[in-house]
């Protein structure tokens, strides 16, 4: 094991023994531990009732603060994702279209109050402001907040500052690949509910990690579909969702999902034209229609009346 891997394996840990949805004790899932290339002491638990999976043992709060540092997560050795700047550039168009779709669903005229929860380096906040909305963002990582300040001139709120936000002030709360990182996703969804106006909207996306047809095909062909090695990516997700478990969690938190899909065509575009893009678009679209087998889960969820 490389020195940086040894440092990840030595992070302080905590146990999460029961399902956040059902309250029952989890059972260890050795297959998922293997898919994530997890060394001891880390493991994956699965709820025997609802099927929700979560990381336990997992890094504790101090461990995750180190994991999300600039040296480890945003470009250091063993970082995830690789080339974070390239990931940012690839996501701008479909984030812009997601914002437009949310504004259409809200049926508002004029300016929206938008909160991006888990804003990373501030791109969605910048898009919201460019569209004429009042955009704010909350971000745990001080390195990511510093990047947003330097690159975009945007001041994101820290977790401590977010505690000063007032209830019922936002039309839209957005979470893109954030909920799966949360130590208690149900509590965070309820916190977002309190911030939304009574006719507000939550928009979120999480990965359908390993439980999607693309990863299943890769594993069958021995060309991927699992972690190649233990690195930051192995640890940064605390929960692993399916459409069913995410929908159950949203309803328990006080939302009524209006639209849940495992395929976003904006993320698998037909341009530039290539065989790969055509195959991805058709394959993931069919997987979504047949059995919710796409590789992401996107939800548009107003508050329950």
pLDDT one-digit tens code per residue, 120-175: 899 999 999 999 999 999 998 888 899 899 999 999 999 999 999 999 999 999 99
Q: Is pLDDT of 235 > 90?
A: yes
- Tell me what pLDDT residue 273 has: 74
- Tell me what pLDDT residue 4 has: 81
Contact in structure between 286 and 295 (CB atoms under 8 Å) = no
Rounded CA-CA distance 194/207 in Å is 25
Q: Is pLDDT of 2 > 90?
A: no
Q: Is pLDDT of 265 > 90?
A: no
Instruction: Identify the residue with better confidence: 90 or 62.
Output: 62
Rounded CA-CA distance 73/177 in Å is 15
- Tell me what pLDDT residue 50 has: 93
Domain at 294, CATH number:
3.40.50.150
- Tell me what pLDDT residue 77 has: 53
Rounded CA-CA distance 246/21 in Å is 10
Domain count, the chain: 1
Burial of 132 (0-12, 13-18, 19+ CB in 10 A): exposed
Give the pLDDT band of residue 87 (cuts 50, 70, 90).
Answer: low
C-alpha dist (Å) from residue 197 to 37, 104, 133, 193, 202: 42, 16, 16, 8, 11
- Tell me what pLDDT residue 88 has: 67
* Domain region containing 202: 3-302
The whole-angstrom distance between residue 202's C-alpha and the CA centroid of its chain comes to 13
Task: Give per-residue pLDDT as tens, 100-128.
Answer: 999 999 988 789 999 999 998 999 999 99
Give the pLDDT band of residue 66 (cuts 50, 70, 90).
Answer: confident
Name which of 78, 86, 19 is nearest 227 in CA terms. 78
Give, for 46, the enclosing helix (H) or strand (E). strand 44-46
Q: Is pLDDT of 1 > 80?
A: no
- Tell me what pLDDT residue 127 has: 96
Q: What is the mean pLDDT of residues 81-97?
A: 71
The whole-angstrom distance between residue 123's C-alpha and the CA centroid of its chain comes to 15
Contact in structure between 293 and 287 (CB atoms under 8 Å) = yes
Task: Give per-residue pLDDT as tens, 14-32.
Answer: 999 999 999 999 999 999 9
Q: Is pLDDT of 247 > 60?
A: yes
**φ and ψ at residue 214, rounded to 5 degrees:** -65, -45
Contact in structure between 114 and 210 (CB atoms under 8 Å) = no
- Tell me what pLDDT residue 5 has: 86
Give the pLDDT band of residue 71 (cuts 50, 70, 90).
Answer: low
Instruction: Let me know how many helices (H) and strands (E) the chain has, helices first.
Output: 12, 12
Three-class SS string for 211-259? CCHHHHHHHHCCCCCCCCCCCHHHHCCCEECCHHHHHHHHHHCCECCCE
Q: Is pLDDT of 85 > 80?
A: no
Average of per-residue pLDDT values in the chain: 90
Angle of CA points 56, 57, 59, to nearest 5°? 110
């Amino acid at each position: 094991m490389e020195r940086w891997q040894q440092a990840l394996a030595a992070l302080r840990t905590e146990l999460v023994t029961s399902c956040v949805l059902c309250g029952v004790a989890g059972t260890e899932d050795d297959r998922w531990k293997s898919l994530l290339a997890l060394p001891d002491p880390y493991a994956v638990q699965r709820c025997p009732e609802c099927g929700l999976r979560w990381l336990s043992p997992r890094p504790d709060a101090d461990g995750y603060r180190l994991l999300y540092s600039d040296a480890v997560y945003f470009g250091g050795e063993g970082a995830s994702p690789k080339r974070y700047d390239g990931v940012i550039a690839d996501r701008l168009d479909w984030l812009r279209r997601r914002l437009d779709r949310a504004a259409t669903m809200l049926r508002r005229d004029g300016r929206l109050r938008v909160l991006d929860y888990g804003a990373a380096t501030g791109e969605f906040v910048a898009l919201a402001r460019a569209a004429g909305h009042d955009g704010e963002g909350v971000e745990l990582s001080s390195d990511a907040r510093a990047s947003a300040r330097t690159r975009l001139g945007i001041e994101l709120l820290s977790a401590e500052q977010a505690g000063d936000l007032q209830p019922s002030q936002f039309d839209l709360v957005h979470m893109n690949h954030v909920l799966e990182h949360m130590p208690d996703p149900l509590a965070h969804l309820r916190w977002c509910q309190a911030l939304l106006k009574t006719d507000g909207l939550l928009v979120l996306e999480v990965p359908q990690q390993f439980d999607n047809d693309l990863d299943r095909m890769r594993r069958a062909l021995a060309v991927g579909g699992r972690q190649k090695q233990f690195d930051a990516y192995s640890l940064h997700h605390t929960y692993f969702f399916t459409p069913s478990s995410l929908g159950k969690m949203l309803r328990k938190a006080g939302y009524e999902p209006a639209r849940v899909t495992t395929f976003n065509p904006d993320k698998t575009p037909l341009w530039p034209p290539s065989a790969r893009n055509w195959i991805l678009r058709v394959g993931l679209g069919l997987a979504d229609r047949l059995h919710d087998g796409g590789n992401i889960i996107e939800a548009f969820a107003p508050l329950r009346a």
